[in-house]
Amino acid sequence: MSKVTTRLANQDIVNIARQQYENQQKSKLPSIVINLPSKGLIYPKSSLLREGKVEIRYMTAYDEDILTNSSYLQSGILFDKLIDAILLTPIKSKDLSPQDRDALIVYSRIASYGSEYPVTVQDPESKKDLSRIVDLNKIGHKPFTLESDDAGEFTYQVNDTTSIKFRYTTTFKDEEFTVSGLMKNMICEVNGSRKETDIENFLRYEFLARDAKEFRLFYADNAPGLNYDYEFEGEDGSTFTARFRVGPDFFWF
């Protein structure tokens, strides 16, 4: 065996030992099991995610380095890196749907920094901006009642002659943020064909705008996820329901 090959083999052994040590140390940290908003129904039956839950560990001070990494922030991968670091279930952030991924971000924030999150909302009566505290533990899951097949896909009947299958597991890229680009990513089958050209031709020549709009509304209305509608106290002591946003300060206060 050459010296170079021997060095590579030795380095592999060192890397494996280091990874085993890190896994052993991380397994000692407290953890929580998260129920996914999708209930796992949007994933294939062969996926670990089909169980509808994943386990994450609590963050450490070392993990906070991820949150302050400007390169991760600029690249838009900060939360992906964080999820990959704290996941104990043997999956990756890229395996999660955007909806389930957002839920893990919220629950990791609760586990690491607590459930109180300051927000600004507008009072519908006075039209004034109010500073309020949201209890993240009170955020529930949106109802999710669609039935999937073994591949974690869903059937939608466009009309009497056309049915499509779509998925919720897709992650959209910037270049796909056109109406047709988004739907090309959502739709995985048209009338039994999964050919990319057939799906593209359907979008280009057959999917009427009114039908496409109805499908997008159905997709959004039935999507799994967290319910960000929250009951706030108004300026006069009455209550109102409003949707709050998660800002860039979500992990800092």
How far is it between the farthest Cα atoms of the chain? 81
pLDDT digits (tens, 9 = 90+) for 205-237: 999 999 999 999 999 999 999 999 999 999 899
pLDDT for res 179 = 85
What is the phi/psi pair of residue 56, to 5°?
Answer: -125, 155
Tens place of pLDDT for every residue, the chain, 253 residues? 566 566 656 666 555 545 554 555 555 688 999 999 999 999 999 999 999 999 999 999 999 999 889 899 888 889 999 999 999 999 999 999 999 999 999 999 999 899 999 999 999 999 999 999 999 999 999 999 999 999 999 999 999 999 999 999 877 665 557 888 889 989 999 999 999 999 999 999 999 999 999 999 999 999 999 999 999 999 899 999 999 888 767 886 5
Coil vs helix vs strand at 189: strand
> Nearest-5° angle of CA 93, CA 99, CA 102?
65
**What is the domain partition of the chain in residue ranges?**
3-114, 154-221
List for the chain the helix, strand, coil content (%; round to 5): 40, 20, 40
pLDDT for res 76 = 84
DSSP structure class, residue 46: T
CB 170 within 8 A of CB 186: yes
